[in-house]
Amino acid sequence: MPVLVKMGFLPFITWCVMAKAAKTPRYFWPQDTVAARLLQRLHADEKWLENLSQEAQQQLTDCLHAHGLKLEAISVSHHELILAIKALAQQIPLHAACNAFVASISSAPAWWRDVLPACALAQAMPVHTYQAYSAHSSTCRQCFMPDETETYAPTELWTDHQNCWDYGTIFGPLHTWFVLQQALQTPLLHWPQPHTLDVWKLDEMFALLRDLPSKLRYSKVRVPLAKLFGINQSAASSLLEALADIGFLNVPEHPGLLESWSSAATRDARPSVRVEAGGPLAWWQSGMGLNESLIQQCFGHLTVPTSEPSLPERAPPVALPDWAQALLQPPKTSVSKVRYPHIPAEIAAGDVYAVPLENGLWVLLYCHGTWLLDTVKKPVTYAVVEFLNAVCTDFPEHGAWNGVGFQPRGSKRSHYRCAGLARYSKIRRIAQNVPLPQDTTAIDLQAACVFTKAADLAEMASWHFDLD
């Protein structure tokens, strides 16, 4: 049976009602390789690499190099990049990219979806010289490369690539090149093949798009599409943009890249400033339908199952070599969290608070009293506070506030109305009923001053203290 022949599809409105109760499937599996896990750890903790031994750093570097990745920033010219993209695209048959696109729905890591739009762009894009978009923009109007020479970090590209369902469609040459070269790290014989559930969901997606009421724009279409795949609307917009760029959405005056080349400037055009998506999606309406001939060309070799298959079993995790296990293991010992003393009570005049700074220092804060703001919902109580002239290298000892005056901001005293002081656990009340410092005057609690939040007091300390 040819693909995308859907039987008994419910009307659009009925489907939307039913989809709300559907269980969100665990789609979009992450990439599971040694290099992927190392990069995930590196992305989560930038200081992790610095703390590794030279031997461990070398092992990590060698592993990334084997996957075409480097830790160092790389510069590439416009001419070099375009030639590299064209050379990579010649190595990828269309059917392999199409199968990877379908497999990315449920049985393969989601980033394989990007291979087909990347191939479409790479194969359609002509070899061209750099052409500035305008006198005020250095971006190439043909391919959207930001400049004649671009510097990039491969690890950042990898992170964007892994988040492809939220990242957006293939738009620029650098992402296109990265997608293709990463895909070719896997031999073509081992590229993912669609599972029966992948084919079923692909068919459901096209059936949904065919059965839409007319004159719906992408902002409305993404809602049921997001429900179909259990993804957010941003990811659904990204998927629609990819479908349009490839050419599966029928936009006769703005064809997709598998049919003809359109410059980046053309694809960036929109019917109005209120439309966020670029072309061709910017011009598409549901009544225009789908490019059925192209869909048949790309997916006609697939057979739709007669009933919905089960979600494919996730493959077992890739076994890590001993050296990688050692790198990714959490520390054997953990330091217990220090609990600093705190006096629980209502906010009152004479309170002194200890405020921690990011550099390990502490500053003192004096409370003059409270100020009440009567809002529509409920009254809000603000603590009226002022910094004391004391910087401590450790948690302040008892009496650290004795003999200490107020710390000015510039040449004059400054107080603040602070919200959330009683709820912010990092700031600790260390004293009560402390009198005003000698030779200081009480402030007018009703006088105008800056509003702030307890969480921002540490940053605001830099307004008063030279902490360098």
Q: What pLDDT does residue 468 have?
A: 66
The rounded distance, in Å, linking the Cα atoms of 42 and 50 is: 10
Kindly report which listed range (369-378, 414-423, 430-439) carries the lowest average pLDDT score. Answer: 369-378
The rounded distance, in Å, linking the Cα atoms of 113 and 21 is: 27
**Helix, strand or coil, per DSSP, at residue 456:** helix
Give residue 423's Cα distance to chain centre.
30
Tokens 């400033």 appear where? 273
The rounded distance, in Å, linking the Cα atoms of 153 and 159 is: 10
What pLDDT band is residue 130 in, cutting at 50, 70 and 90?
very high
**Helix, strand or coil, per DSSP, at residue 18:** helix
Pick the most confident of 20-24, 107-111, 144-148, 284-288. 284-288
Q: What is the mean pLDDT of the chain?
A: 85
Q: What pLDDT does residue 23 have?
A: 35
The rounded distance, in Å, linking the Cα atoms of 286 and 232 is: 20
Q: Decide which of 374 and 195 is more confident.
A: 195
**216 within 8 A of 289, measured Cβ to Cβ:** no
Tokens 């809000």 appear where? 380
What pLDDT band is residue 321 in, cutting at 50, 70 and 90?
confident
The rounded distance, in Å, linking the Cα atoms of 237 and 241 is: 6
pTM beyond cutoff 0.85: no
Report domain extents, the chain.
1-331, 352-463
Q: Decide which of 423 and 296 is more confident.
A: 296
What pLDDT band is residue 3 in, cutting at 50, 70 and 90?
very low
Closest Cα to residue 418, out of 325, 329, 336, 353?
353
Q: Is the pLDDT reported for residue 49 higher than 90? A: no
Q: Per-residue b/e over 269-288, b at no fewer than 16 CB within 10 Å?
A: eeeeeebebbbbbbbbbbeb
Q: Per-residue b/e over 398-414, b at no fewer than 16 CB within 10 Å?
A: eebbeebebbebeeebb
The rounded distance, in Å, linking the Cα atoms of 432 and 274 is: 56
